[in-house]
């Protein structure tokens, strides 16, 4: 398809190079004379284009939709279609990533009520410093508000460190109703299992090999790697913590989230129902056991029960077994 601009350019070449009249050149090209003499009345969008290129340069993984939201928040109110047109005319685009095979699996119950602290998700992300030293980042995400509650970076993160970070977040935000994680050694350590016994919420482990059951945190990990880890070169661990902390603040307070109607997670959290943490229940048992309750989805939940007995036994459809190591820790 030949555009009107290309026809006007062809007519200009015939007139200037071959000394044709405008009428004759339009007949040869098949263009209307009125379209050749057309002068655009569109306003000058130089400032808008420059600001759009600046935003696209700073946030290279943002498409025109998120760029449009940011421009609107800055007072540059234009039609979304115009933003798309200018974005395309400036040659801006997001590199497409290759699709991948996705595991099919069941998921933990998704909270229906828009309430903060209804469900948290945990997962680890790995990266390396400029010197080649590896480090890990523990991401903690609120599945309802999409807030990043913590992104803890260190070369080693044990189960006890996970507990300390969770206690710190709970002290300033309140306890969740459920925590979801995979079956990593840090999350299934004796320290975490003993810590869960004294809490009133459930810790849900996804089925092995089914990362889609922890989809909220996995999606956050993708954004985190795409917009932070892949965009920066970390000199040392302190530098990595500084840049990661700055990105988390920007993610919570400035980055528009498509699942929240392009609100920021902090703005959406302000409109959610407040979470009322349940009162802790005093336990009279000398020792509690750890119960792995199989769900219909094929995954398991940790729950607190009575005194353990040696071997396996069945109680209301749940199986539990004693552990000498856990027994000594519980005493």
Q: What is the pLDDT of the chain when averaged over all its residues?
A: 80
**Is the backbone of residue 232 left (phi > 0), alpha (psi -120 to 50) or beta?**
beta
Q: Are 49 and 87 in contact (CB under 8 A)?
A: no
Mean predicted confidence (pLDDT) in 19-29: 90
State if pTM tops 0.75: no
Which of 84-88, 115-119, 177-181, 301-305 shows the lowest mean pLDDT across its residues? 301-305
Q: Are 265 and 250 in contact (CB under 8 A)?
A: no
The DSSP code sequence of 217-229 is: HHHHHHHHIIIII
Q: How confident is the model at residue 295 (pLDDT cuts 50, 70, 90)?
A: low
Q: How confident is the model at residue 106 (pLDDT cuts 50, 70, 90)?
A: very low
Q: How far is CA 170 from the centre of its chain?
A: 21
Q: Is the confidence at residue 288, as pLDDT, over 50?
A: no
Nearest partner of 237 among 125, 122, 137, 124, judged by Cα: 137
> What pLDDT is stored for residue 153 in this prediction?
96
Q: What does CATH list as the number for 120-271?
A: 3.30.420.10
Distance in angstroms (rounded) separating the CA atoms of residues 247 and 269: 18
Q: Of all residues in the chain, what percent carry a pLDDT higher than 90?
A: 42
Spell out the residues 6+ positions from residue 282 whose beta carbon is closer than 8 angstroms to its own: none
Mean predicted confidence (pLDDT) in 230-253: 94
Q: pLDDT by residue (tens digit) across 189-217?
A: 999 999 998 888 889 999 888 888 889 99
Q: Are 252 and 148 in contact (CB under 8 A)?
A: yes
> What pLDDT is stored for residue 198 in this prediction?
86
> What pLDDT is stored for residue 94 in this prediction?
82
């Amino acid at each position: 398809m030949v555009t009107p601009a290309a026809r006007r350019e062809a007519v200009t070449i015939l007139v200037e190079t071959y000394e044709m009249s405008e009428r004759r050149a339009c007949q040869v090209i098949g263009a209307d004379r009125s379209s050749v003499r057309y002068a655009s009345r569109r306003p000058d969008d130089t400032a808008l284009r420059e600001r759009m290129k600046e935003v696209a340069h700073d946030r290279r993984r943002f498409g025109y939709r998120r760029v449009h939201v940011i421009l609107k928040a800055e007072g540059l109110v234009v039609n979304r279609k115009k933003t798309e047109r200018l974005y395309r005319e400036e040659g801006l685009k997001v590199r497409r990533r290759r699709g991948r095979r996705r595991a099919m699996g069941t998921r933990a119950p998704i909270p229906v009520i828009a309430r903060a602290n209804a469900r948290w998700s945990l997962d680890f992300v790995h990266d390396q410093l400029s010197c080649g030293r590896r480090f890990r980042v523990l991401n903690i995400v609120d599945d309802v508000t999409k807030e990043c509650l913590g992104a803890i970076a260190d070369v080693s993160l044990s189960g006890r460190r996970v507990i300390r970070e969770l206690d710190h977040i709970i002290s300033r935000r309140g306890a969740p109703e459920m925590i979801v994680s995979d079956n990593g050694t840090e999350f299934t350590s004796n320290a975490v299992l003993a810590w869960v016994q004294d809490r009133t919420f459930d810790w849900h482990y996804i089925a092995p090999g089914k990362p889609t059951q922890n989809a909220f945190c996995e999606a956050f990990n993708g954004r985190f790697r795409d917009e932070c880890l892949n965009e920066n070169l970390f000199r040392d661990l302190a530098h990595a913590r500084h840049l990661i902390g700055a990105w988390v603040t920007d993610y919570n307070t400035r980055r528009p989230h498509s699942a929240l109607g392009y609100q920021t997670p902090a703005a959406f959290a302000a409109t959610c129902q407040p979470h009322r943490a349940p009162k802790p229940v005093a336990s009279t048992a000398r020792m509690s056991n750890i119960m792995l309750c199989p769900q219909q989805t094929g995954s398991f939940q940790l729950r607190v029960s009575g005194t353990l007995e040696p071997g396996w036994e069945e109680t209301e459809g749940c199986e539990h077994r004693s552990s000498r190591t856990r027994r000594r820790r519980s005493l």
